[in-house]
Structure 1
Amino acid sequence: MSWIKRYPIPAVFVIGLTVAGCTGAEPADPPSATGAGGSPAESSSTVRPTLTDAKLQPPSQDNKYTKAGGRPAVVVDPCTWIPDDTIRALNLDPATRKRGRDLIAEYSFLTCDFAANPPQEKWRLRVDSGNVTLDEVRQKYAGKYENVDVNGREAVRTVKNGDPTCAIDIKTAVGYFGIEVADVAGSGSATPCDKAMEYARALEPVIGDDN
């Protein structure tokens, strides 16, 4: 499940839209691989290509809350790192891509939402990239998680009994890359966790070996 959903945060910390998306300014450059305090992050030294729509660009991670938290910056941004072809291969619609409720505070998350194509299947995908560790996920959900492997990466799967959502959080250098799948209309074509693992295996390469 999304860490944002699991840990409600005062609205002042949640970034819904980037400045570029609101003003029509030119797209911002991809976020630099720097820690919350401005030092280079060891997890990535490679500049990755990004989608350029101004409305998709991530918010700045440089504020008093991130500096106070002392956590590394989030490097992988799902809204600008996941190619359209990858989304189409999962039978999702790239045109539904939109930024979720980005969280930039003591811990930070960059979020992107996608919907299914064709629409009658009604799957919804949320991807979170954050600087909360898998150990913190395990501590929060002691006895309610399962350790899994995604393309050789350590990961944690969490699901509530009777809940039509399933989340798989994949370990990254600064935290985790989270895949949350919801069957919003009871499509019945697969279980949410089957879909979550399918999506996780397809999206894991986007993280990059250096992250």
Structure 2
Amino acid sequence: MGRWGTVALAALAVATTACSPGSAEPATSDEASPPATRTPRITDHSGRPPVTFDPCYDIPDDVMHAAGYDAGKKELADMPMGTYTFLGCLYKKDDYIPGVRRGFGLNVLAGNVTLEEEAKKNGHISEPTSINGRGALLRVDPSAELDP
């Protein structure tokens, strides 16, 4: 996979529900509707393409609600790194059980690096997975730090 791809890292869990990037409305006439475009929240000057999938805006709230997250409380979790960029969205699941668990979160990231680059850098704390047919990484060691 030598093309630029979307990389998703899940902080502690990954929702493998059906979310479709580019949820454009179907055309209602014989003419095709132009695709909706949005200016990315963050761009870098690396020469890499801008991040076009925005997890906070492109994953439908009903999908996250169905996965057990309160999408009304999602938070932007962007990571401008200078030579690349990640647009992120943090979803929290505050189902505190005393002495057992304090809740957990899901951080969905889309970046302008290849999946191979990210796997090489952080493969020691993640494993490959697939979300709606797209390659992704699942962070399996939440206590480990990501490499910059």
TM-score scaled by length of structure 2: 0.57
Whole-Å Cα distance in 1 between the matches of residues 137 and 77 of structure 2? 22
User: How much is the aligned-residue C-alpha RMSD, in angstroms?
Assistant: 3.4
TM-score scaled by length of structure 1: 0.42
Gaps of 5+ in 1: 4-44, 51-56, 166-211
Match of 2:129 in 1: 148
Identity level (%): 30
Q: Is the 8 A contact 1:77 1:129 kept in 2?
A: yes
Match of 1:6 in 2: none
What does residue range 75-90 of structure 1 map to in structure 2 within 5 Å?
75-90=52-67
The offset of 1:117, in angstroms, is 6.3
Please state whether the residue corresponding to 1:125 is helix, strand or coil.
strand
Please state whether the residue corresponding to 1:95 is helix, strand or coil.
helix
Q: Which stretches of structure 1, 4 residues or longer, exceed 6 Å deviation after superposition? A: none
CA offsets per residue over residues 150-204 of structure 1, 9 Å max, x none? 44333333423xx469xxxxxxxxxxxxxxxxxxxxxxxxxxxxxxxxxxxxxxx
Match of 1:157 in 2: 138
The offset of 1:58, in angstroms, is 5.4
Whole-Å Cα distance in 2 between the matches of residues 110 and 125 of structure 1? 14
2:140 alignment partner AA: V
What does residue range 171-186 of structure 1 map to in structure 2 within 5 Å?
none
Gaps of 5+ in 2: 1-7, 10-33
Q: Name the structure, 1 or 2, with higher relative contact order (CA <8 Å, separation 6+).
A: 2
Q: How many residues align?
A: 110
Greater fraction of residues in helix: 1
2:63 alignment partner AA: T
Match of 1:46 in 2: 35
